[in-house]
Amino acid sequence: MAGSKFAYVKNFELPDPLLPGTFIIIRLDGHAFHRFSDVHSFQKPNDERALMLMDRAARAIMEEYKDAVLAFGESDEYSFLLRRSTSLYNRRHAKILTTLTSLFTARYLYHWSDFFPNTPLQYPPTFDGRIVLYPSEKEVRDYFAWRQADTHINNLYNTAFWSLVQQGGQSTKEAHETLRGTISSQKHELLFSRFGINYGTLSERFRKGSVLIREQDNAGTRVLEKAAKKTKAASPIILCHCDIITAEFWSIRPYLLE
Ligand code: ATP
Ligand code: ATP
Ligand code: MG
Ligand code: MG
Ligand code: MG
Ligand code: MG
């Protein structure tokens, strides 16, 4: 069928395939959430409702896209790993990135009142997104280790910072000053000696972030998903706040990196 004489403009749309056989990681991050969290009075250093809402939106991505096998979230960001063999949208970069970012954002808004029943949205939040390709298992594992190590560093700092402000009576400027140049063990010590906080006993969600895993038993994912469909209750997608830096996390789930 011949198009109109205008149809040639379609030829200006260039293909944007992602390299075959590589792991695709998509990282979404809240736009200006420093402000968004302020305006919506997030509890500091960690608003658990906001983290659970992020987990909910991320779960929707995992449910919609079966090739998303693993996700990791902290603060206002979430990373998703797609199987290296995925042919999702023929591996078109923009199609994958825009649909996932859009779905995540839509779900974040859709579920807002489930987690913030008494906090009306003042304005609609948005997310940015990027895709990074990794050639081998090592980089994928190191990528997730990098994000989880970041969670730890930020949370330790933020916990010490907000203790100084909320309980220690310091201004934010003074708290930054107090913490400048301190190493990890000094922050642990400060938390314990001044505020009686044993960092290791704080919520794992705060210390380790959120991990969504598409679980598989020996019989394979398909079986689990079928069972999940039948019962409608069980889900092959598991949320935990576990250590993903250790080799064991990966060695007991080889299918994540297939
Ligand atoms: P950008 O648009 O560049 O990402 P940003 O303001 O979103 O800017 P980030 O580095 O992404 O900056 O940091 C997100 C900020 O959002 C955190 O520093 C924190 O202040 C706030 N925030 C996000 N989630 C939570 C939460 N669950 N509880 C409390 N504060 C949060
Ligand atoms: P894809 O996800 O590939 O874009 P699609 O189903 O969205 O698939 P499109 O080619 O974008 O396919 O077409 C959008 C379709 O949505 C139209 O064909 C039409 O059926 C429907 N649609 C969109 N807007 C309207 C509207 N205002 N009134 C009626 N139908 C609409
Ligand atoms: Mg940023
Ligand atoms: Mg942000
Ligand atoms: Mg962020
Ligand atoms: Mg369409």
* pLDDT value of residue 1: 60
Determine whether the shortest distance from the Cβ of 67 to ligand 1 is under 6 A.
no
Rounded Cα distance, 241 and 164, in Å: 26
* pLDDT value of residue 234: 46
Output the six-digit token pair for 112: 């807002």
State the pTM of this model: 0.93
* pLDDT value of residue 228: 56
Output the six-digit token pair for 221: 């994912």
What are the per-10-residue average pLDDT scores of the chain (258 residues)? Answer: 89 98 98 98 98 98 97 98 98 98 98 98 98 98 98 98 97 98 98 97 98 78 55 72 97 95
Determine whether the shortest distance from the Cβ of 127 to ligand 1 is under 6 A.
no
Of 28, 21, 231, the C-alpha closest to 134 is 21
Determine whether the shortest distance from the Cβ of 66 to ligand 1 is under 6 A.
no
**Superfamily in which the 17-147+203-257 domain is placed by CATH:** tRNA(His) guanylyltransferase (Thg1) (3.30.70.3000)
Determine whether the shortest distance from the Cβ of 234 to ligand 1 is under 6 A.
no
* pLDDT value of residue 216: 84
Tell how far the Cα of 129 is from the centroid of ligand 6, in angstroms. 20
Which of 27, 28, 29, 34 to probe ligand 1 with, by most ligand atoms within 8 A of CB?
34
Which protein residue's CA is at the shortest distance from atom 4 of ligand 1? 31
Tell how far the Cα of 67 is from the centroid of ligand 3, in angstroms. 26
